[in-house]
Structure 1
Amino acid sequence: MSSLQDKKTTGITFNIQKYSVHDGPGIRTVVFLKGCPLRCDWCSNPESQRKRIELAYNTGRCLTLTKCVRCVEVCTTGAITRAEDDTISIDRALCEGCTMFCAEACPAKSLITYGTQKTVDEVLNTVEQDSVFYARSGGGMTLSGGEPFAQPAFALAILREARRRRIHTAIETCGYAAWEDMAPALEFIKFAHYDIKSLNDEKHKRATGVSNKRIIENLERMVKEFPAIKVVVRTPVIPGFNDSEKDIRAIAQFTAKLGVEYQLLPYHRLGTQKYHFLGREVPMGDVKLSDEVMQQLTKIVEQYHS
């Protein structure tokens, strides 16, 4: 595909985060693409899961309908109605595909849209604003999500155009995608963060909604067919799911055999507020991961990855 065609390719992002130092080598700009095939109970970015643009509502900022009715007046689908406490009630099914005029009209910014339609050119023009930091630190751009391969054509066009602009490219992926969607994009990356939540398939299905078989197969194939890519496997350590010696030892052994780096990520409750904004229940409730458990599991990993 030509550079002009790639530049005009569009997709939906929900954030572009600058000055990241945890998403690949050096200082990076992380481009978050909307859409994910998994529904992890511990997801800290619930706004990333659906591909479409979504409406969120921060009740704490709302002026209430006793003082402002702008959102009701501009809503074209009848999705916004009065709640008993004079805040608003949102029928999110009616919001699908609408213009989101309500968010633009809200003077208190209590209505928020998660997701923006962008071209590849718009994305990379933003990324290139910090090119001086990439040059000095060995950084670049990281595609994340959601799951970048949930929008495979958009992801590929971004990576291919980034290569033309000599931007170091990386991805963060859950690995659950058709290989024919992943492989073309892997030609254009140099670094990958690859999530492995559990090697127990039944447990994986219960907590994420999908089997882990494709994820494991894709990782093995990536390591074999794209040896130039630096792969770092990561496991989010989740209380009550995979925070046992058995779970972590199995993944540590597997990754050591593959010859890739392995890291543990401690569970955190960041993102809880966004569930409320989207009118959803927080799946994990109020559980916490103890420092002691994390330290014990880290020692297990060190037995295989020193």
Structure 2
Amino acid sequence: MKKGTIINIQKYSVHDGPGIRTTVFFKGCPLNCWWCHNPETQNKRHQIMFFKERCKGCGICIKRCPENAIKIIDGYPIIDNNKCTLCSKCADFCPNDAREYVGKDLTSKEVMDEVMKDEMFYEDSGGGVTFSGGEPMLHVDFIDEILDECREKEVHTTLDTSGYASWESFDKIRDRIDLFLYDLKVMDKEKHKKYIGVDNTLILSNLKKLSKHGHNIFLRMPIVVGVNDDDKNIDDSIEFISKLNVLQVNLLPYHKMGMEKYKRLDMEYKLTGDEKPSDEYMNKLKEKFERAGIKVKIGG
């Protein structure tokens, strides 16, 4: 039985597809979006997050570390990642929860057992399970195992994806995915490469194929001031979407809720945190999409 690296199984989720859902967040992503609000999902490896504000400098983590990978720097215990083996003892024994171990390897049965605990909520609300991340398509063989059981137990399935995976991977599971939540971030290839880390050729190609095959698709468009809110990108997006078969477009205004996580992971946050579009602008965008005959919703 295959294992997947999971950071969280979130119950009673209402923004990741229809009804009440259980969202499985996978670790690992091939992209590097500047505004990513779940940076702990980017690295496929397990990680340790450090909450500096909780640390009392007691030194217990130093004593518990079997690799002598922690030392005090400027009054705080800092991990030497070259020595750390991610044994998690520094997190396990911290009395103030200043360290958090991110990532757990679970079998498909363990995940499915957790999903099915809320079966009655799915039946009453039309909900189900959503595979998210990170990029769940990095775990396509693992998801493949779960989907068979979802079909058997009539659990609605949603895949929240960036689209950056081989078509062969999508083709392997697409017949058992009831709804795709598909990201459309930037239309210009070079800007996409700058702000997301890869160009968008594969992403757009997969989207066209899923649309051609008649799959249920909700497009998700994050709106980030100074990145993709310009008229050209919006117009190009509308032109592209108008040729597709999609059920809905969700316009998602940028937020900075994940900003603090970057510090905890010793990662660089490349935006200022002030890139949120105004409500007035979001409403104007909504009207523009609607004039083009596209069903649109702000948020979700």
Task: Please report how far the alpha carbon of residue 245 of structure 1 lies from its aligned counterpart in structure 2 after TM superposition.
Answer: 2.3
Structure 2 equivalent of residue 173 of structure 1: 161
Deviates more, 1:119-128 or 1:148-157: 148-157
Deviates more, 1:159-168 or 1:124-133: 159-168
Structure 2 equivalent of residue 122 of structure 1: 110
Matched, 1:287 2:274: yes
Structure 2 equivalent of residue 13 of structure 1: 6
Query: Match for 1:78 among 64, 68, 91?
Result: 68
Query: In 2, Cα distance between the equivalents of 1:259 and 1:11?
Result: 32
Query: In 1, Cα distance between the equivalents of 2:122 and 2:43?
Result: 31
Q: Which amino acid aligns with 2:81?
A: R
Structure 1 equivalent of residue 50 of structure 2: 57
Structure 1 equivalent of residue 217 of structure 2: 231
Structure 2 equivalent of residue 263 of structure 1: 250
Q: Tell me the secondary structure at the aligned position of residue 124 of structure 1.
A: helix
Query: In 2, Cα distance between the equivalents of 1:141 and 1:294?
Result: 29
Matched, 1:43 2:40: no
Structure 1 equivalent of residue 298 of structure 2: none
Q: Tell me the secondary structure at the aligned position of residue 31 of structure 1.
A: strand
Structure 2 equivalent of residue 91 of structure 1: 80
Q: Would you say the 8 A contact 2:29–2:42 is kept in 1?
A: yes
Alignment root-mean-square deviation, CA:
1.4
Q: Would you say the 8 A contact 2:212–2:245 is kept in 1?
A: no
Query: In 1, Cα distance between the equivalents of 2:6 and 2:65?
Result: 24
Q: Would you say the 8 A contact 1:234–1:263 is kept in 2?
A: yes
Query: In 2, Cα distance between the equivalents of 1:40 and 1:113?
Result: 23
Structure 2 equivalent of residue 5 of structure 1: none
Matched, 1:136 2:136: no
Q: Would you say the 8 A contact 1:248–1:300 is kept in 2?
A: no
Structure 2 equivalent of residue 31 of structure 1: 24
Task: Please report how far the alpha carbon of residue 186 of structure 1 lies from its aligned counterpart in structure 2 after TM superposition.
Answer: 1.1
Give 5+ residue unaligned stretches, structure 2. Answer: 296-300
Deviations 1:122-156 (A, max 9, x none): 11111111111100111000000000011221222
Q: Would you say the 8 A contact 1:245–1:300 is kept in 2?
A: no
Identity of aligned residues (%): 41
Deviations 1:28-47 (A, max 9, x none): 11000011000000000000
Structure 2 equivalent of residue 3 of structure 1: none
Query: Match for 1:187 among 153, 172, 175?
Result: 175
Matched, 1:159 2:152: no
Matched, 1:210 2:203: no
Task: Please report how far the alpha carbon of residue 84 of structure 1 lies from its aligned counterpart in structure 2 after TM superposition.
Answer: 2.0
Query: In 2, Cα distance between the equivalents of 1:122 and 1:166?
Result: 18
Aligned length: 292
Matched, 1:278 2:265: yes
Give 5+ residue unaligned stretches, structure 1. Answer: 1-7
Task: Please report how far the alpha carbon of residue 21 of structure 1 lies from its aligned counterpart in structure 2 after TM superposition.
Answer: 1.3
Runs of 4+ in 1 over 3 A off after TM superposition: none
Structure 2 equivalent of residue 22 of structure 1: 15
Query: Match for 1:242 among 183, 204, 228?
Result: 228
Structure 2 equivalent of residue 111 of structure 1: 99
When residues 245 and 299 of structure 1 are mapped into structure 2, their CA distance, relative to the original with a 3 A threshold, is farther
Deviates more, 1:179-188 or 1:156-165: 156-165
Deviations 1:251-301 (A, max 9, x none): 122112112122211101111111111112222122232222222222211
TM-score, normalised by the number of residues in structure 1: 0.92
Structure 2 equivalent of residue 219 of structure 1: 207
Task: Please report how far the alpha carbon of residue 174 of structure 1 lies from its aligned counterpart in structure 2 after TM superposition.
Answer: 0.2
